[in-house]
Structure 1
Amino acid sequence: MPSSLDVPSEHVVATLFYRSDTPSHAVPHADASPRSRHDFLPHASLDSLKHGAAPTEKISEYPLEPPTPGPSPLDHLYGSYISQSCLTDFFVTLTNIIPGLLDTSITTRRLDNSALSRVAEISFPLPRTSSITLETLRRHDAISRFEREWNIEAVFQPDTIYRRYKRLAVFDMDSTLISQEVIDEIAALVHIKPAIAAITAAAMNGELDFETSLRQRCALLRGTPSSVWETLKPRITLNEGVPELVAALKRLGFKTAVLSGGFTPLAEWIAERLGLDYVFANHLVVSPDGATLTGELEGEIVHAERKREHVLRIAQMEGIRLEQVVCVGDGANDLPMMGVAGLGVAFHAKPTVQMQAPARLNSRSMLDVLYLLGITREEQEVLLR
């Protein structure tokens, strides 16, 4: 039987992330966030061992049925990291999916230079004659099962020079660069959160489009003091790893942009704080005396299609190929811009967005985006010195 190397092929790279913030192993990975919840196994005391380690002596408290069947948490057995057993299982999974793929043609690189690796990069050929595509791999049931069993997230990309040498990074703002949703923060300040939430829910249920829901929510802000932006700034927090990621990208010569369905005052403040090159957001009108917000929007609305158009326009102005663009967001309105980029990343996104996005990343730090570009931990440390 011919191997995948006997026919023209393209190469694919899979970046595996161990989900170190949610291990089923008793000992967390060294990179796990100290803010995360870990379910440690209880330590048996000497006293309890003398009397037996059964959890109860009452027959009525024993379960009548076995636990619900599901994938075994193999990281619990093999360790809170990407073990060799995990990699071997991934190779087997790939060879079962891709006809003709031999495990001898698969290469591995650990990106965090550690025996207890959290991130690994696996490269392999994908025959152009094969019915298996990159999209098939991303959605394949066997890959999903592997991810659940080993507590792994796998990101698949074409392994080309443009994957390694990106030149433009574009970010959503709310819940991506920052932890907050700005309109919800304003609503909480002026005590209209339930009304705002009702419109948001209608939009999520498909009863309103983004622009209509945005205009309705903004109308509720009429009379809000225009000083609200300064009041909000101390409450805004950058997501973990954001300053470091932007600093590293700028060291590499990237152009950077924030495209926000939020509002100009905070988007421009975030852009200045991080040193971003481009910023586009929605503009809320201020009353003639400058004291309050009118609840109206002026100028173009930065909705999903507008974000996509801005990505195309910035790339064209900078002379950057779309294959060299990475877009990061968390909402459905970020999917169109992700779709035109060489790499679209759903970062801690809503479940429906994670299902549709080219790549998803749920690690605690956005700095992990650098691993998707093939940049090792050692190289990251050099960039951040």
Structure 2
Amino acid sequence: MRSSSFLQEHQQYRPPNKPENHYGIDTVVEDLQASQISPPRQISPFNGIPSPENPPKIVESGLSHELSHPNCTSPTGAPSERLIATLFYRKTAPRVSNAVPSPHTTPQNTQSPTQHSAESDLPPNMAPSSSLDNFPLEPPVAEPEPLDHLYGSHISPMCITSFLHLMSSFPLPPGSTDLTSAHRCLKLDATTERHPLVVELTLSPAPSADYLSLADLRKHELIYRFEREWNVDVALTSDTLWRRYPRLVVFDMDSTLITQEVIDLLAATIKDPPDLAARVADITHRAMLGELEFDSAFRERVKLLTGLPANIFTELRSVLDVTNGVRPLLRALKRLGVRTAVLSGGFLPLTSWLAGELGIDHAHANEVEIDEATGRLTGEVKGRIVGKERKRELLMEIAAKEGIALEQVVAVGDGANDLLMMDAAGLGVAWNAKPMVQMEAGARLNGDSLLDLLYLFGFTSEEIERLTAA
């Protein structure tokens, strides 16, 4: 049994009547027990303001509260340069690891080396072996391993940690030394009710704009690789007042508000020649990819529709397939007082009808000439084609008419002819878009419901349910 005192355990014997001039180590220690070595430190009571002496955290029974305020507000006169990163887990498009067997195949489902199917585990950028003319000049870049297979099919803590580590590698503005962050979950997995699928992170300060602008940051290779590793989409926006309060949302129609391309539906009604639908669909696809000039491509396709009856637009109304989430999204926007518009490179009869059905405030599209004698399409277009330049002009005209600043305008589209419209708006959103549009747009959504647009404004799933309730 030992005490906590080294002196008590090891002190030497001392006679009871020691000389007065004898001062040993024991005497010194005993004499100091009744005195104070240093003056007492003035201890001020905790007044609620965090300091090095008073850590910014309160821990009591059943309560743990952080009192740190580095990310609340900026000093007077100093601009607040915060960055919002909204992470969407791409649950509908899981990546298959190249290192593990594909879940789509079984050991019994074997195929010869010469066979290749859509379910193959070969990465999409693997060099072809059938034609030397198509062989790449450089070896393909290796795909990153999908880490969500290891850490969970959701936005895991490791995913957030990896993203914060990535963002810390970018230079901060001059005078800033630390990067602070906060995050909140906007949407949980409905099956588990505990795994986050949409997470919003606030980073302060934003990376130095002198080193890397926001537009360039969105296209950065590290961001793209992170998305591939964790199977997520990252939407980066400045934390401004206008992000949370949009006043005008402008939509493309084909492959955005609806899942089809109207001009392809029209071509499919013509049976002679039999390959017309395929030819029109090919031109449409190349125009959306940006390989063809939209105006000339549209005139070429309309010319192929010569002779169609004018009432074909009425017959196609029942065929239109409205994109999942569009109706509740428009209901929520209307309750928020947000104006809406559809700017379509398609045809005005169908665009106007759809806008009326969905309650959209403004509708613009192309008008085709109809022969009054025969009641059929002549193959010509009236007036100016609603292409990429015209869409941008119409967006600015509607915003000016409604008295809305462009910073409070959101544009949603999927094709190359929507890029100028997206660039003019405060936020451009690519919806299941073509590759070039995905890279150029301010944000991208690749889910199964357009209702996900509301998460970019900072709404939680609970708030969205209230906004969309019938």
Same fold (TM > 0.5): yes
Look up the match of 1:106: 181
Q: Does structure 1 conserve the Cα–Cα contact (< 8 Å) formed by 2:290 and 2:416?
A: no
Q: Does structure 2 conserve the Cα–Cα contact (< 8 Å) formed by 1:172 and 1:328?
A: yes
2:196 is equivalent to residue 117 of structure 1? yes
Task: Report the Cα offset of residue 352 of structure 1.
Answer: 1.4
TM-score when normalising by structure 2: 0.69
Closer/same/farther in 2, CA of residues 41 and 286 from structure 1, 3 Å limit: closer
Task: Report the Cα offset of residue 204 of structure 1.
Answer: 6.5
Task: Report the Cα offset of residue 324 of structure 1.
Answer: 0.5
Q: Which deviates further from its counterpart, 230-239 or 361-370? A: 230-239
Q: Does structure 2 conserve the Cα–Cα contact (< 8 Å) formed by 1:9 and 1:126?
A: no
1:298-335 superposed Cα distances (whole Å, 9 cap, x missing partner): 12311111100011111111111111000000111100
Closer/same/farther in 2, CA of residues 200 and 72 from structure 1, 3 Å limit: closer
Task: Report the Cα offset of residue 135 of structure 1.
Answer: 1.9
Look up the match of 2:84: 13
Q: Does structure 1 conserve the Cα–Cα contact (< 8 Å) formed by 2:85 and 2:234?
A: yes
More helix by share: 1
Look up the match of 2:459: 375
- Determine the C-alpha separation between the residues in 2 that align with 1:123 and 1:285: 52
Look up the match of 2:390: 306
Q: Does structure 2 conserve the Cα–Cα contact (< 8 Å) formed by 1:229 and 1:266?
A: yes
- Determine the C-alpha separation between the residues in 1 that align with 2:262 and 2:158: 44
2:245 is equivalent to residue 165 of structure 1? yes
Closer/same/farther in 2, CA of residues 319 and 222 from structure 1, 3 Å limit: same
Q: Which amino acid aligns with 1:380?
A: I
Where structure 1 has 5 or more consecutive residues not aligned to the other structure, the ranges are 27-38, 44-54
Q: Does structure 2 conserve the Cα–Cα contact (< 8 Å) formed by 1:23 and 1:75?
A: no
Closer/same/farther in 2, CA of residues 136 and 268 from structure 1, 3 Å limit: same
DSSP-derived class of the 2:438 partner: helix
DSSP-derived class of the 1:111 partner: strand
Task: Report the Cα offset of residue 139 of structure 1.
Answer: 1.3
2:158 is equivalent to residue 85 of structure 1? yes
- Bigger radius of gyration: 2
Q: Which amino acid aligns with 2:87?
A: L
Q: Does structure 2 conserve the Cα–Cα contact (< 8 Å) formed by 1:8 and 1:128?
A: no
Q: Does structure 1 conserve the Cα–Cα contact (< 8 Å) formed by 2:250 and 2:409?
A: yes
Closer/same/farther in 2, CA of residues 220 and 70 from structure 1, 3 Å limit: closer
- Determine the C-alpha separation between the residues in 2 that align with 1:118 and 1:281: 36
Closer/same/farther in 2, CA of residues 200 and 174 from structure 1, 3 Å limit: closer
User: What root-mean-square deviation, in Å, do the aligned CA atoms of Structure 1 and Structure 2 show?
Assistant: 3.0
1:132-167 superposed Cα distances (whole Å, 9 cap, x missing partner): 321232111111111111101101011111000000
- Determine the C-alpha separation between the residues in 2 that align with 1:145 and 1:21: 19
- Determine the C-alpha separation between the residues in 1 that align with 2:211 and 2:373: 64
- Determine the C-alpha separation between the residues in 2 that align with 1:206 and 1:106: 38
Closer/same/farther in 2, CA of residues 317 and 8 from structure 1, 3 Å limit: closer
1:150-190 superposed Cα distances (whole Å, 9 cap, x missing partner): 10110101111100000000000000100110111110111
Look up the match of 1:272: 356
Look up the match of 2:311: 227
Look up the match of 2:236: 156
DSSP-derived class of the 1:119 partner: strand
TM-score when normalising by structure 1: 0.84
Higher relative contact order (CA 8 A, sep 6+): 1
Q: Does structure 1 conserve the Cα–Cα contact (< 8 Å) formed by 2:290 and 2:417?
A: no
Q: Which amino acid aligns with 2:233?
A: E
Q: Does structure 2 conserve the Cα–Cα contact (< 8 Å) formed by 1:82 and 1:116?
A: yes
2:443 is equivalent to residue 364 of structure 1? no
- Determine the C-alpha separation between the residues in 2 that align with 1:116 and 1:25: 20
Closer/same/farther in 2, CA of residues 372 and 80 from structure 1, 3 Å limit: same
DSSP-derived class of the 1:368 partner: helix
Identity of aligned residues (%): 48
Closer/same/farther in 2, CA of residues 164 and 290 from structure 1, 3 Å limit: farther
Look up the match of 1:94: 167
- Determine the C-alpha separation between the residues in 2 that align with 1:185 and 1:350: 20
- Determine the C-alpha separation between the residues in 1 that align with 2:283 and 2:186: 44
- Determine the C-alpha separation between the residues in 1 that align with 2:178 and 2:187: 23
2:220 is equivalent to residue 140 of structure 1? yes
- Determine the C-alpha separation between the residues in 2 that align with 1:23 and 1:207: 29
1:230-284 superposed Cα distances (whole Å, 9 cap, x missing partner): 2212211001111111111111001100000100111011101100000000011
Task: Report the Cα offset of residue 285 of structure 1.
Answer: 1.5
Q: Which amino acid aligns with 2:385?
A: I
Q: Does structure 2 conserve the Cα–Cα contact (< 8 Å) formed by 1:14 and 1:157?
A: yes
Task: Report the Cα offset of residue 205 of structure 1.
Answer: 8.3
Task: Report the Cα offset of residue 349 of structure 1.
Answer: 0.8
- Determine the C-alpha separation between the residues in 2 that align with 1:76 and 1:207: 36
Q: Does structure 1 conserve the Cα–Cα contact (< 8 Å) formed by 2:289 and 2:416?
A: no
Look up the match of 2:373: 289
Q: Does structure 1 conserve the Cα–Cα contact (< 8 Å) formed by 2:289 and 2:434?
A: no
Task: Report the Cα offset of residue 97 of structure 1.
Answer: 2.2
Within the candidate set 410, 418, 429, 1:334 is matched to: 418
Q: Does structure 2 conserve the Cα–Cα contact (< 8 Å) formed by 1:284 and 1:295?
A: yes
- Determine the C-alpha separation between the residues in 2 that align with 1:307 and 1:110: 35
Look up the match of 1:176: 256
